Amino acid sequence: MIVELGRVGVAELATRFGVTSETIRRDLSELQEQRLARRVHGGAVVFDTTGFEPLLSVREELNTAEKRRIARRAADELPRSGTIMIDSGSTLTRFAEVIPRRQNLRMVTNSIRTVLALADGEWSEIVVLGGRLRINTLAMVDDQTVDQVEQLVADTLFISCDGLSANRGLTTPYREEAALKQAMIQSARRVVVLADYTKFDQDHYARFADWSEIDLLITNTEADAASLAAIESRGPEIALT
């Protein structure tokens, strides 16, 4: 059920299998220990670092409050003017929704959801990167997209990840995603990572950045203190919200 749906809830599982919520929570904890599921508030999501990725519509419903807190804090990092590049992802969609309008900013993104979220603003320009559309993320991700990014210079990049750890840096399940994220980081003068606390200590298949390449990590106060200290010792500033 977790693999098919992307997310399951404790209450629905208890009803379906005719057991108590406490039993389901214990079962989900055992699945997490076996790295078959990952516990989240009220249920669990798939724990698969080999390539499974839930639909964006599923991920947008996960940890919504935490993502909104990060998005509001990230808005403080916008320059007064210049070129802003925004990666794809559910947290970055939340960020695009709360960016103050009527700013003298050029917005660059590969995400359809982000474009729609920005459409009501009076920006100096909105640039949509082209390429092959990935249905799961509703974003353009291929060699053509990378080629376009390599021709640009962004003042600030707002980027996300599927997993992060002190030792491995930032990771994603897909090599194409990793290649694009690497190009985005190389194109930017300043790099800001938006990642909620559930991404911590998760190492996915493709690594796209070391912490030395990141200027600021914005995450939740629920993030593990030891992990935060280890990451901060590797270079980036950390902002908690």
- pLDDT tens-digit series, residues 20-44: 999 999 899 888 877 778 888 788 8
Q: Give the pLDDT score at 50.
A: 47
pLDDT digits (tens, 9 = 90+) for 116-175: 999 988 899 999 999 999 887 899 999 999 999 999 999 999 999 999 999 999 999 889
pLDDT digits (tens, 9 = 90+) for 57-70: 555 555 688 999 99
Q: Is 61 left (phi over 0), alpha (psi -120 to 50) or beta?
A: alpha
Where does the pLDDT of residue 53 fall: very low under 50, low under 70, confident under 90, or very high at 90 and above? low
Percent of the chain with pLDDT over 90: 69
DSSP state for residue 110 in the 8-state scheme: S
Cβ contact 185:213 at 8 Å: yes
For the segment 217-240, the average pLDDT, to the nearest whole number, is 96
CA distance 192 to 80: 16
CA distance 228 to 50: 25
For the segment 77-96, the average pLDDT, to the nearest whole number, is 95
DSSP state for residue 35 in the 8-state scheme: T
DSSP state for residue 195 in the 8-state scheme: -
83-115 burial, b at 16+ Cβ within 10 Å, e below that, comes to: bbbbbbbbbbbbbbbebeeebebbbbbbbbbbb
Chain center to CA of 27: 27
pTM, two decimals, is 0.78
